Every structure is written in C-alpha cells, then in structure tokens.
Amino acid sequence: MSGEQLTVGVLGAGRVGTAVGRQAVRAGHTVKIATSRPAEENRLLTEVVVPGATAADPQDFADADLVIVAVPLNKHRSIDASALQGKVVVDAMNYWVGVDGFLAEFDGTRSTSEVVGELLGDVRLVKTLNHIGYGELEVEAKPAGAEDRRALGVASDDAAAKALVSGFVDSLGFDVVDAGELAAGRAFENGSEIFTGRHTAAQMREVLERDTARV
Ligand SMILES: NC(=O)c1ccc[n+]([C@@H]2O[C@H](COP(=O)([O-])OP(=O)(O)OC[C@H]3O[C@@H](n4cnc5c(N)ncnc54)[C@H](OP(=O)(O)O)[C@@H]3O)[C@@H](O)[C@H]2O)c1
C-alpha cells in the first residue's frame, strides 16, 4: 500500500498493538513496539509476532512521527507519558466497565479521548483504531479505491495531527472519515452504532449526520 513512510511507535504489544504493528510493517512503515517491560524482554515476542518491527523502550519513540497507545485503559496511570510529550498520539483504547472496572474519571460526560488527552499531558491526540477488532484489522484491509472498503473514523482537535493519522490509517487499508473534534469521538466509543458495526465511508458519514441531527 502506498503513502508517506512513517516511523511509528506502538505502546502495548497485546492483541491490538501487534495487529496494528504487523499491518504497519506491511505498509512499509518503520515500527517500534514497547510495553511496560524493558525492550530486552519483548525482543523475541516482537521478532516472532511482528516480524520486521523492533522491540523498544518508550524513550525510543523520540523520532516517531506518531505513537499508538494500545494498552488497557485501566493501566493508563502506569503509561510513561514523558515519552509522548509533544507527539502525535493515537488513542486506540476503549472504556469497558466489565474489563477495566469502574473508572470514575471516564464515567462523566466527556469523551474518553478528551480525558485520555488530559491525563497524557502535552500530546496531539487523535482517536481512531478503537472501533475495529484486532482480528479484523488484517483481514478487512483493502487497497484504496477497492469496492466496499471499510472505513474508520478519526477525531481530533489538531487538524495537522488528524491529517497525518488519516494518511496512516489509509495506508493500513481503510478509508477515513473525519468525525470532527476529539469530543465527537464519542460517536465511535464502545457501544455506539459505529463501534458495533462495519461501515463504508458513505455509511459512516450517514450515521454521523444522523447523530448530529438528533442533538
Ligand atoms: N482487542 C481488540 O480487538 C481491541 C480493538 C480495538 C481497541 N482495543 C482497545 O485497545 C486497548 C488494548 O487492548 P488489547 O486487547 O490489545 O489488550 P491486551 O491484549 O491485554 O494487551 C495490552 C498490552 O498493553 C501492555 N501494557 C500494559 N500496561 C502498559 C503500560 N503502562 N505501558 C506500556 N504497555 C503496557 C501489555 O504488556 P505488559 O503488561 O507486558 O506491559 C500488553 O502488551 C484496550 O483499551 C482495548 O479496549 C481493543
């Protein structure tokens, strides 16, 4: 797949982190994967599960064009946010009470990504990749222009960050629908119509327009 070649940091080597990592390697990006453990402990796992990617420590994200955060939301306090300051950061996380337990900070009226952005500090946050199953990421990817290509929504308060991440998502094999500001990311949070379904770009725009008309 074509597009700008990026250096991509992935925080979290679980289901989503490794699937995004593999797909990003296929797209020609340079991929570094880190967890809460030292890089040395992730070297073998990375070689086997995400061939072509490098096991890293969060500090190695210094030269990353963007960093994807794919850790369970209830671990957010243990994230090394210092490595993310000033960066374009993709929030791929979801709040699941059944999985994460009750998290008071995520139970208010704001979108989960607005809260994540505040907790992470000076980051250029973009919400996307949270509303596709890890098992679908590789099998549903299609080249640009393909019939029935699946779309993913992006939401951010930072237009340049959103444009960069949109190009990245396209390179992974998906159309991109701009949902607007970070607050609008609520439209594809856990439990929403977009979260639970599969949409082309036209179908997703229809859902977003319907939601807006209802407000
Ligand atoms: N599963 C899906 O299909 C899917 C799809 C879209 C979005 N999501 C969302 O993505 C997030 C991750 O889900 P998952 O299913 O990939 O979880 P997972 O399989 O449990 O993997 C979590 C990963 O995060 C790492 N981690 C934990 N704490 C960390 C920290 N402080 N710093 C860096 N890495 C840390 C873990 O490694 P260590 O414990 O070794 O650090 C592990 O590699 C969740 O919020 C989920 O809702 C999931």
Compute the distance from residue 73 Cα to the ligand 1 centre, in Å: 8
Compute the distance from residue 16 Cα to the ligand 1 centre, in Å: 7
Closest ligand 1 atom to 93 CA: 45
Domains assigned to the chain: 7-214 (3.40.50.720)
Mean pLDDT by 10 residues, the chain (215 residues): 85 98 98 98 98 98 98 95 97 96 92 96 98 97 97 98 98 98 96 97 96 73
The token duo for 61 is 């994200």
For a ligand 1 pocket test, name from 10, 11, 16 the mutation site with the most ligand atoms within 8 angstroms of its C-beta. Answer: 16
Spell out which residues line ligand 1, taking CB within 6 angstroms: 11-17, 35-37, 70-73, 75, 78-79, 92-94, 96, 130, 133-134
Q: Which pLDDT score, from 0 to 100, does residue 2 have?
A: 54
Q: Which pLDDT score, from 0 to 100, does residue 213 have?
A: 74
Q: Which pLDDT score, from 0 to 100, does residue 1 have?
A: 47
The token duo for 3 is 């597009």
